[in-house]
Structure 1
Amino acid sequence: MQRYEELDSLRGLAALAVMVGHFLMVFTPIVQNTSGLSFLDYPLNLLKYTPLHAIWGGHEAVIMFFLLSGFVLSLPFFSNRQQNYTKYVIKRICRIYIPFLVALIIAIVMREAVYVSKLTDLTTYYNELWVAPPDMSSIVHHLLFVGNYNSTRYDPILWTLVHEMRISLLFPFIMFAIVKGGWKIGLPLAIVLSYGAAIMLENIETRYMTNFVVSLHYASFFIVGALLAKYQKPLRAVFSKLNGWWAALLLIVALCSYTFKWIGYGEDFHDRFMPHGGDWMTAIGASIFIIAALSSVRLSQQLQRKPLLFLGKISYSLYLYHMIVLLSLIHLLNGELDTPFIVMLAFVASFVAGALSYYFIELPSIRLGRWLTSWGKKPSVAVGSSGERSVSS
């Protein structure tokens, strides 16, 4: 199955944006609502309320993650090489759940090892993290992905993996409809799931982001990713026909769409799109980026540079561990070093943790999944997981 290294790099860049965003949120000027100030009066707003927000847009990156997951997981279905459901689930558990489980354990251990007291000199977001000690009920919720629970308690990024795993388990059933009906079924289904979820969310209690209804909303972007994979050839052909200026203009439009939530923040026209309409604007921009990455020779070459490919390889582990590293160092070194130095130290240490996790946890987990699903197969006809591994879903 064809390998899309460009998409590995896109996922790596998205994971980096999440990390940069979380690290910047340590500082009060970043999290304050300063949208009422002009760029001249408050130059930092250029980073906050313009397309430059893509550099540290965490939620936007999550939408990109879901699109890429849908794209990659759908490929075997379109080439008629899908595995039976049991083997698919085993590989998903090994690929997503085992690294998640190890990270959860490490987060709990680090919290117990370094936590002394509640922080009071950082932003409200960080002052409230790791405050509650571990308890069995919370741990069981984390292990089973069941219920509407606080998934930020130990590692604040875990909420996205709850949706990733839930949707992955249902994805093969969704793909039957998309393979047969294409966009005529897939696109309406995605819209119904997203806006149906929005209606339900208005009438039920959703204290935390792990609500099952929220999973329906994010499933819509898995579907869009699958549709991008199904129609990639005609979409790539259209992009390839654009001359340099039109291609550049389309990418600018994509960037503005991707960061729409922050352009005109607080204005009436903007608020009418929130929250789910804003996610769809982000998805449109991210979809264009995906097609551009596969279509543009120049962009593809840049995305296949070794540093970006390495970033793509460790992207899942970087995503899992950067907050654990940051919270550990903040609690360990608070009062010993200035906060900016702690953040810079955590930035470097996160890459080390991500690389170690990739080589010693992720890769063994992937090999375990292959081994568990390879019994009874002849080596010459065994179906590898290159489809799943083309992007670290």
Structure 2
Amino acid sequence: MTYSASPPHPLRLRSLDGARGLAALIVLIHHCALTVPEFANLYLIGAIPAEGTVAWWLNATPLKIFTAGGEAVLLFFVLSGLVVSLPVLRAKTFDWAGYYITRTMRLWIPVAASLVLAAVWVTLVDGDPGLTVSKWVKGSDVPSLEWQEVVLGFDAMRGPTRINNPLWSLQWEFIFSLLLPVFVGIAVVLRRWTAATVTVCTALGVVGVLNGIGYLIYLTAFLTGAALTFPVLGRTRRHRPRGAPIWSKALWLAILFAGILLMCAYWSMLVGGVTDSFILAVGKALALPGAVLLVLCAVFSRNVARFLEWAPVQWLGKISFSLYLVHVPIIMMFSRLFGSDHWMRALLFAVPASFAAAWIFSKLVELPSHRLAKHTGRWISAKMVAYVAASSVPVQAQAHAERVLVSSAPGDQGDRPTQKSPAIR
């Protein structure tokens, strides 16, 4: 374990903040769509919508990217793997003690606060049991909440997520954060084979989908993000030429569209009538290379980066974590109040309320927790440095004493006259 008193200046890629904001928006739209029975039935019971309907267009075509919530979470994981690994691989020495304290507090405090907030909403708002709701709303309902479930939810890696469904993905974030040295080590070993790493991770994803192994589906996404660190470090945005030729713009546009197609491949296959489980598993796993292509566009394409650095998108990036944490209980609350027959009316209230709650949550919970995490991490690091320095003093003193004893021992060089000795004339 090493300690760095002066960590390198952080490499901030604002375009990745924008990508995170758009991913959070996609998750919000996805959960809004799940309040519509026809859309929820496709996810929960595999009911294929009729061709030509709105639900068909939103799932069988590249328009699916706007409601691809699960795929957006995979993009979150790739971004986390990249962004969290960057400081480690840029630094000559890395403060692991400070990292674990800071990372844990930055994630756990907002998660715990969102869990309490969701529990309050569930307790205070009672919907009309006679109203018709979508299968997703009905399956996610919490008719009787017990305080033990809230307490168990504070276990960030194994706690129940029924009260606030998006917390399931934060459990994988905690696991990745705990195992970061392993991911960074693998990324270093495979730094010359980034494309091969993405391919192997995609193949492992296929195995994970076929066998229901979450570790192969989600942790490989984090590993892929860590593997992207070296290409990003080798050619960051500041190295991108200002006047890119037309062919370069067209190439990145094609890569962007290819990433969107790969992200939507599974749903195009499913709605298109594919029933083979292996082919569907391949289609679901293709979301990983699709997320990689989108991240590469965010870093290397000047036009894509310029859009992602646009002020409204950056604002989404700033509240993305808070929006992700608070939006589902709000959507559920208004869906239970209005029912699926008036889902549009429910969303007219739920979406603005989600943005407002996310902004307030970021100001009152997320940002203060970040500051507290940084302060605590620095304090712990300073204490560890002081402890290591204090522990090394007795060792140095003992080594010095041993050298004195050896130099003065009979038969050694200590009993021989030196050039400065008065015995030499």
- Kept in 2: contact 1:115–1:130 (CA 8 A): no
Q: CA RMSD in A?
A: 3.0
- Kept in 1: contact 2:203–2:285 (CA 8 A): no
Aligned partner of 1:251: which letter? Answer: L
| Structure-1 residue corresponding to 2:50 | 37
CA separation in 2, counterparts of 1:80 and 1:192?
32
Deviation at 1:10, TM superposition (A): 0.6
Query: Does the C-alpha gap of structure 1 residues 11 and 220 become closer, same or farther in structure 2, counting only changes over 3 Å?
Result: same
Aligned partner of 1:162: which letter? Answer: Q
| Structure-1 residue corresponding to 2:323 | 318
Q: TM-score, normalised by structure 1?
A: 0.82
| Structure-1 residue corresponding to 2:279 | 273
Secondary structure of the structure 2 residue equivalent to 1:273: helix
CA separation in 1, counterparts of 2:321 and 2:130?
28
Deviation at 1:37, TM superposition (A): 3.2
Secondary structure of the structure 2 residue equivalent to 1:263: helix
| Structure-1 residue corresponding to 2:255 | 250
Deviation at 1:217, TM superposition (A): 2.8
CA separation in 2, counterparts of 1:146 and 1:132?
24
| Structure-2 residue corresponding to 1:26 | 35
CA separation in 1, counterparts of 2:41 and 2:142?
22
Query: Does the C-alpha gap of structure 1 residues 117 and 356 become closer, same or farther in structure 2, counting only changes over 3 Å?
Result: same
Query: In terms of mean alpha carbon deviation, does 237-246 or 101-110 score higher?
Result: 237-246
Task: Write out aligned runs for 1:264-303 (5 A).
Answer: 264-265=269-270, 267-268=273-274, 271-275=277-281, 277-303=282-308
Query: Does the C-alpha gap of structure 1 residues 119 and 272 become closer, same or farther in structure 2, counting only changes over 3 Å?
Result: farther
Deviation at 1:128, TM superposition (A): 2.5
| Structure-2 residue corresponding to 1:206 | none
CA separation in 2, counterparts of 1:146 and 1:7?
26
Query: In terms of mean alpha carbon deviation, does 50-59 or 367-376 score higher?
Result: 367-376
Query: In terms of mean alpha carbon deviation, does 216-225 or 128-137 score higher?
Result: 128-137
Post-superposition Cα deviations, 1:258-312, rounded to whole Å, max 9, x if no partner, equal 111111215337742334x334311111111111122122221111111110000
Query: In terms of mean alpha carbon deviation, does 58-67 or 80-89 score higher?
Result: 80-89
Identity of aligned residues (%): 25
Post-superposition Cα deviations, 1:138-163, rounded to whole Å, max 9, x if no partner, equal 3344222455x652x21111111111
Deviation at 1:16, TM superposition (A): 0.4
CA separation in 1, counterparts of 2:83 and 2:276?
32
Query: In terms of mean alpha carbon deviation, does 229-238 or 1-10 score higher?
Result: 229-238
Is structure 2 residue 112 aligned with structure 1 residue 108? no
CA separation in 1, counterparts of 2:335 and 2:41?
21
Query: In terms of mean alpha carbon deviation, does 238-247 or 103-112 score higher?
Result: 238-247
Deviation at 1:344, TM superposition (A): 1.0
Higher RCO structure (Cα 8 Å, ≥6 apart) = 1
Secondary structure of the structure 2 residue equivalent to 1:182: coil
Provide structure 2 residue ranges, at least 5 long, that are not aligned to the other structure.
1-9, 383-425
Secondary structure of the structure 2 residue equivalent to 1:274: helix
- Kept in 2: contact 1:261–1:270 (CA 8 A): no
Query: Does the C-alpha gap of structure 1 residues 269 and 109 become closer, same or farther in structure 2, counting only changes over 3 Å?
Result: closer
CA separation in 1, counterparts of 2:183 and 2:291?
21
CA separation in 2, counterparts of 1:168 and 1:30?
34
Query: Does the C-alpha gap of structure 1 residues 287 and 320 become closer, same or farther in structure 2, counting only changes over 3 Å?
Result: same
Task: Write out aligned runs for 1:156-235 (5 A).
Answer: 156-182=165-191, 184=193, 187=197, 190=201, 194=205, 197=208, 201=212, 213-232=213-232, 233=234
Secondary structure of the structure 2 residue equivalent to 1:354: helix
| Structure-1 residue corresponding to 2:99 | 88
Query: In terms of mean alpha carbon deviation, does 277-286 or 100-109 score higher?
Result: 277-286
Post-superposition Cα deviations, 1:81-101, rounded to whole Å, max 9, x if no partner, equal 563333212111121111000
Query: Does the C-alpha gap of structure 1 residues 326 and 95 become closer, same or farther in structure 2, counting only changes over 3 Å?
Result: same
Secondary structure of the structure 1 residue equivalent to 2:50: coil
- Kept in 1: contact 2:190–2:227 (CA 8 A): no
Q: How many residues align?
A: 360
Provide structure 1 residue ranges, at least 5 long, that are not aligned to the other structure.
202-212, 379-393
Deviation at 1:136, TM superposition (A): 5.0
Secondary structure of the structure 1 residue equivalent to 2:366: helix
Deviation at 1:370, TM superposition (A): 0.7
Post-superposition Cα deviations, 1:331-364, rounded to whole Å, max 9, x if no partner, equal 4x437x9432221111001111111111111111
- Kept in 2: contact 1:166–1:215 (CA 8 A): no
Aligned partner of 2:88: which letter? Answer: F
CA separation in 2, counterparts of 1:373 and 1:60?
33
| Structure-2 residue corresponding to 1:383 | none
- Kept in 1: contact 2:77–2:222 (CA 8 A): yes
Given the alignment, which residue of 347, 358, 366 partners 1:362? 366
Query: Does the C-alpha gap of structure 1 residues 313 and 70 become closer, same or farther in structure 2, counting only changes over 3 Å?
Result: same
Given the alignment, which residue of 374, 379, 396 partners 1:375? 379
Given the alignment, which residue of 353, 356, 373 partners 1:352? 356
Aligned partner of 1:220: which letter? Answer: T
Query: Does the C-alpha gap of structure 1 residues 228 and 6 become closer, same or farther in structure 2, counting only changes over 3 Å?
Result: same
Post-superposition Cα deviations, 1:159-183, rounded to whole Å, max 9, x if no partner, equal 1111111121112222123224425
| Structure-1 residue corresponding to 2:398 | none
| Structure-2 residue corresponding to 1:11 | 20
Deviation at 1:112, TM superposition (A): 0.8
CA separation in 2, counterparts of 1:283 and 1:189?
11
